[in-house]
């Protein structure tokens, strides 16, 4: 049986495949035939190096991320999953708020009025601890029109993805952006799900499972922090509608 798995895999290696998820689908079907089985399951994980332009200096940064693809063949039906995990950074909202308002007494002592202080604090970036994390989005049974680039864009608009190469102006832009929009790990997954519902729902079925996760390598605690959401698209869309109607 194991030799048939290898035969199925290497029967496809010299072919050109449009994407990782299509390769997974072909392999599941090939494996099903080789094993003379009603069912087969394929899970693929691969490293991808994306060339991205930095925000301020427009330099090429070669950034590592992970692509995921799964294919499950059951009879004549094949279900698929595809997703991306990419590195991000967050700033802690708690410490940022505390740091910002801790200067209020000293500003009052220095003779500033409350309205002046509010204006000062509104344009000042206060310090907080930041940490690197891993954000992940995996989508169930997508239509053929959905690409890995679209999944990446959903991550990119939801959290602060980091760059391998950053000149000083780029470092400054990324850090300031993280300070102006600090996120708990829960915020990261909520924002990923929100971007998925808004931008990718037309490529999914109502029953499609949306999986979003955020792992933060905490910088001031010994523990790390992890959050995930896994729900069908229809349920997430209903939650989004209720949120809009109550806001």
pLDDT, block means (10 residues), the chain with 247 residues: 89 90 93 92 95 96 97 92 97 88 91 92 87 96 91 96 96 93 95 96 94 94 94 91 72
Calculate the CA 53 to chain-centre distance: 19
By CB neighbour count within 10 A (0-12 exposed, 13-18 middle, 19+ buried), where does 212 fall? Answer: buried
Q: Are 189 and 159 in contact (CB under 8 A)?
A: no
Question: What pLDDT is stored for residue 239 in this prediction?
Answer: 86
By CB neighbour count within 10 A (0-12 exposed, 13-18 middle, 19+ buried), where does 110 fall? Answer: exposed
Six token digits for residue 97: 């708020």
Nearest to 146 by CA among 88, 208, 214, 86: 208
Instruction: Report angle CA 210, 66, 80 to the nearest 5 degrees.
Output: 40
Backbone angles phi, psi at 66, to 5 degrees: -120, 130
Calculate the CA 155 to chain-centre distance: 4
* 61 SS3 class: strand
Q: State the Cα–Cα distance between residues 47 and 37, nearest whole angstrom.
A: 30
Q: State the Cα–Cα distance between residues 217 and 234, nearest whole angstrom.
A: 32
* 247 SS3 class: coil
Question: What pLDDT is stored for residue 47 in this prediction?
Answer: 96
Q: State the Cα–Cα distance between residues 101 and 120, nearest whole angstrom.
A: 11
Q: Are 75 and 28 in contact (CB under 8 A)?
A: no
- How many CA atoms lie less than 13 Å away from 114 in the CB half-sphere? 0
Question: What pLDDT is stored for residue 247 in this prediction?
Answer: 64
Question: What pLDDT is stored for residue 243 in this prediction?
Answer: 75
Q: Which residue has the tokens 């832009």?
A: 173
**Strands of 22-99, DSSP E:** 39-53, 60-74, 77-91
Q: State the Cα–Cα distance between residues 205 and 78, nearest whole angstrom.
A: 14
Question: What pLDDT is stored for residue 181 in this prediction?
Answer: 93
């Amino acid at each position: 049986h194991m030799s048939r798995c290898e035969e199925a895999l290497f029967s496809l290696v010299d072919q050109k495949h449009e994407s990782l998820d299509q390769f997974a689908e072909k392999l599941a079907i090939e494996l099903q035939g080789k094993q003379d089985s009603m069912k087969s399951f394929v899970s693929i994980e691969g490293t991808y190096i994306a060339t991205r332009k930095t925000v301020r200096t427009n330099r090429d940064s070669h950034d590592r991320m992970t692509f995921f693809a799964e294919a499950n063949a059951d009879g004549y039906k094949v279900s698929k999953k595809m997703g991306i995990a990419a590195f991000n950074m967050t700033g802690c909202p708690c410490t940022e708020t505390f740091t910002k308002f801790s200067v209020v007494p000293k500003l009052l002592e220095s003779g500033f009025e409350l309205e002046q202080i509010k204006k000062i604090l509104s344009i000042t970036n206060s310090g907080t601890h930041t940490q690197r994390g891993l954000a992940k989005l995996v989508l169930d049974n997508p239509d053929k029109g959905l690409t890995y680039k679209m999944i990446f864009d959903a991550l990119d608009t939801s959290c602060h993805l980091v760059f391998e190469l950053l000149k000083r102006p780029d470092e400054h832009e990324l850090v300031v952006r993280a300070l102006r929009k600090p996120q708990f790990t829960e915020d990261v997954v909520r924002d990923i799900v929100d971007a998925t519902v808004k931008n990718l729902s037309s490529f999914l079925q109502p029953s499609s499972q949306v999986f979003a996760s955020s792992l933060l390598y905490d910088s001031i605690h010994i523990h790390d922090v992890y959050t995930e959401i896994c729900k069908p698209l229809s349920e997430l869309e209903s939650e989004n509608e209720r949120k809009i109607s109550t806001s």
